[in-house]
């Protein structure tokens, strides 16, 4: 029996993970499930999977969760500390699927307590890749990439020599505004940005996909996971989202990972790694797809992607600043305080203010420095948002 926990169990990745576990219940012992504020779904999932413990991040919801689970024998806790404690409960495998930088510390705690970490929470790798990898190495555990592109690269690299890699290409659908002009992009509303052409995901990552911040985060995530040069990472627009990533080798051969846009393929691969188990998911039918298209990304219309390459060059804690400023800019866009294009502008200005002159941020990736950089990214980001919305 594999002991598993899911951090962010009520979200899109969390529920997809639960869908796979429910089909194979006898092989899993579910230790802890955590959620942000959806008590009903957390309780339902905990009962269905027979979890030992359920923790909700919003401490005002303790009594609601307790009531929902009364008589079930499932342990209940609430608050930020409760999420950390749930992450620390002994497990073999933990899904890190909280959204945002809030997922960083629980993931570190899970690894420190001996669990392999399936990493959907890309923000951890962007903000703290060095610390994440050091923590995994110290505790002799794995970080299993569970973003579709990174699972794809990981799979294409299996059995290959890392030193033979020439380039890695990650694909992007281009989102709903792929062909929009700058003038049109300036008018995009949150409702328009919340619809993805191919993937069904949480609201925040869906908007990040539309702005290409998601691909920017993934470029940084690629560098952290696979430790290649900035110039070896390419992004290609591929509207069908069928090829998730390709790895090119020194001899010119390219290996592509191909599959339907369903996160359960990447989650299932991480769940059973290093085995491959039969998964009852839809199979790709190439003749129904018919054609695959590719084009270059436009850094002018989607500056969030260009900024990610600046972050790679800056290194150190720049990823933590990029992500934090993006998170507050996304909040401001959702609240209709700033426009769609202002998100990248706010992040650009924040990076500029913090890194253009003599940088006062300590570049060493320890948790204090990363949390400080995250705080500064939010603080300066909010100032720039204020200026843009004035």
Rule CB under 5 A: which residues touch Mg ion?
A: 147-149
- Does residue 49 interact with ligand NAD by CB under 6 A? no
Does residue 268 belong to the site contacting ligand NAD (CB under 6 A)?
Answer: no
Closest residue to Mg ion in the complex (CB) = 147
Decide if 283 contacts 332 (C-beta within 8 A). Answer: no
DSSP state of 368: H
By CB under 6 A, which span of 127-135, 199-207, 221-229, 294-302 interacts with ligand NAD? 199-207
d(C-alpha 24, C-alpha 2), whole Å: 11
| Closest distance to ligand NAD from the beta carbon of 208 (Å) | 7
**Shortest distance (Å) from residue 261 CB to ligand NAD:** 9
Strands 2-7 and 28-35: parallel
CB of 302 to Mg ion, least distance (A): 16
The answer to the question of residue 119 lying near ligand NAD (CB under 6 A) is no
Asked whether position 99 contacts ligand NAD by CB under 6 A, the answer is yes
What residue 17 binds from ligand NAD, Mg ion, none (CB within 5 to 8 A, per partner kind)?
none
Closest distance to ligand NAD from the beta carbon of 65 (Å): 13
Residue 11 or 377: the one with the smaller Cβ distance to ligand NAD is 11
**Can you state the angle between helices 104-112 and 80-88, rounded to 10 degrees?**
30
Region binding ligand NAD by CB under 6 A among candidate stretches 21-29, 117-125, 167-175, 314-322: 117-125
We find the least distance from the C-beta atom of residue 172 to Mg ion, in angstroms, to be 9
Q: Provide DSSP, 33-47.
A: EEESS-HHHHHHHHH
295: left (phi over 0), alpha (psi -120 to 50) or beta: beta
- Closer to ligand NAD at the Cβ: 199 or 249? 199
Q: Residue 181: helix, strand or coil by DSSP?
A: coil
Does position 202 interact with ligand NAD (CB under 6 A)? The reply is yes
222 vs 369 by CB, closer to Mg ion: 222
> Which of the 8 DSSP states describes residue 354?
H
Q: Per the structure block, which two tokens stand in for 282?
A: 């839809």
Task: Report the largest interatomic distance among the alpha carbons of the chain, rounded to a whole angstrom.
Answer: 62
For tokens 């972050």, the residue is 311
Q: How many CB atoms lie within 10 A of CB 289?
A: 12
102 near ligand NAD (CB under 6 A): yes
């720039």: which residue's tokens? 384
193 phi and psi angles, rounded to 5 deg: -80, -10
Residues that bind ligand NAD (CB under 6 A): 8-14, 35-36, 38, 57, 83, 97-99, 102, 120-123, 147, 199, 201-202, 204-205, 263
């Amino acid at each position: 029996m594999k002991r598993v926990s899911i951090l962010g169990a009520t979200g899109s990745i969390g529920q997809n993970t639960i869908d796979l576990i429910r089909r194979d219940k006898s092989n899993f012992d579910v230790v802890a499930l955590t959620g942000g504020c959806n008590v009903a779904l957390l309780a339902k999932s905990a009962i269905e999977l027979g979890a030992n413990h359920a923790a909700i991040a919003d401490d005002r919801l303790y009594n609601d969760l307790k009531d929902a689970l009364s008589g079930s024998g499932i342990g209940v806790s609430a608050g930020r500390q409760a999420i950390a404690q749930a992450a620390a409960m002994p497990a073999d495998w933990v899904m890190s699927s909280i959204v945002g930088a809030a997922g960083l510390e629980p993931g570190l705690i899970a690894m420190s307590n001996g669990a392999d970490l399936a990493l959907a929470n890309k923000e951890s790798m962007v903000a703290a890749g060095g610390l994440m990898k050091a923590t995994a190495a110290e505790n002799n555990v794995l970080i299993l990439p569970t973003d579709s592109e990174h699972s794809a690269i990981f799979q294409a690299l299996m059995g290959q020599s890392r030193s033979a890699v020439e380039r890695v290409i990650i694909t992007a659908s281009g989102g709903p505004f792929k062909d929009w002009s700058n003038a049109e992009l300036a008018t995009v509303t949150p409702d328009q940005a919340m619809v993805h052409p191919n993937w069904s995901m949480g609201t925040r990552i869906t908007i990040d996909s539309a702005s290409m911040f998601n691909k920017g985060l993934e470029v940084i995530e690629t560098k952290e996971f696979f430790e290649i040069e900035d110039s070896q990472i390419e992004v290609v627009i591929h509207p069908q989202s069928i090829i998730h990533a390709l790895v090119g080798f020194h001899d010119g051969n390219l290996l592509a990972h191909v599959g339907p846009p369903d996160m359960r393929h990447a989650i299932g691969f991480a769940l059973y790694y290093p085995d491959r188990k039969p998964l009852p998911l839809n199979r790709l039918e190439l003749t129904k797809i018919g054609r695959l298209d590719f084009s270059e990304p436009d850094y002018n219309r989607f500056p969030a992607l260009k900024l990610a390459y600046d972050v790679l060059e800056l290194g150190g804690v720049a990823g933590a600043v990029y992500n934090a400023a993006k998170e507050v800019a996304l909040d401001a866009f959702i609240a209709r305080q700033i426009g769609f294009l202002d998100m990248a502008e706010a992040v650009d200005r924040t990076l500029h203010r913090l890194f253009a002159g003599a940088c006062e941020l300590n570049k060493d990736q320890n948790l204090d420095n990363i949390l400080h950089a995250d705080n500064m990214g939010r603080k300066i980001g909010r100032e720039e948002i204020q200026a843009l919305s004035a």
